[in-house]
Amino acid sequence: MSQLFGASASTSRRAPLIRRATIKDLRPVVKIWLDAVQLGMGLTPPSPNEVLATFQKRLEAPEQTAYGHWVAEVDGDVAGWQGLQPCRPSPVMRWAESGTYVSRDYVGHGIGEALIKFATEHVNSTNLTHMVGFVGARNETMSKFLESCGWQKVGSVPRLKPSDPEYLYYVYLVPQR
């Protein structure tokens, strides 16, 4: 994989710059996602080419105000990324599914926290009504952090087979403006 996606990041502790992702961020975004799927979730991902094609479509899509992808950049490296995808579309309720991914080189450096805070503030400035997220049941640090940001745990997603990871289901209700 390292040939396909390039070198990894440094271990700087500087605060990340969060910006809209561009097509130039495709390979680091995909590498971070693949690492999370394989290492963090223990799942077997689809082929790298299929994942590249999926994320390329997302990053080349016209910029949307509420939905999209952002990267956390530290010293020129993509240290993590945040995605907000349409979820449960309806004319009355506008939901976004949040996905937050951190490069394994930057775990423990506050990147996930910065991305979640960014996403929470972002949805407060848009016409979204809810933001949902799924967190591994064993990820107590992220669960506690989400709850400290006002997210509410509303349930869990059952496993289809014993080897599947267990996920907790969180919802953030966007305050009325």
CATH number reported for the structural domain that contains residue 158 in this entry:
3.40.630.30
- pLDDT value at position 102? 94
11 domain-assigned: no
Which range of residues forms the domain containing residue 40? Answer: 2-6+16-173
Q: Which of 12, 50, 10, 19 is nearest to 33 (CA)?
A: 50
Strand order in the sheet with 77-87: 17-20, 68-74, 77-87, 95-102, 130-136, 167-173, 152-157
> Are residues 102 and 111 in contact, defined by beta-carbon separation less than 8 angstroms?
yes
The number of residues making up the chain comes to: 177
64 domain-assigned: yes
91 domain-assigned: yes
pTM for this structure? 0.82
Q: What is the DSSP letter of 24?
A: G
166 domain-assigned: yes
76 domain-assigned: yes
Q: How many domains does the chain contain in total?
A: 1
> What is the identity of the amino acid at 80?
G
Between CA 43 and CA 147 the distance in angstroms is 26
Q: Which of 21, 23, 43 is nearest to 34 (CA)?
A: 43
Helix (H, G, I), strand (E, B) or coil at 84: strand
Residue given tokens 């869990």 in the structure block: 156
pLDDT per residue of the chain (177 residues) written in tens, 0 to 9:
333 333 344 444 678 999 999 999 999 999 999 988 876 666 677 888 999 999 999 898 877 778 999 999 999 999 999 999 998 877 888 899 999 999 999 998 999 999 999 999 999 899 888 899 988 888 888 888 888 888 888 888 888 888 777 777 788 876 655
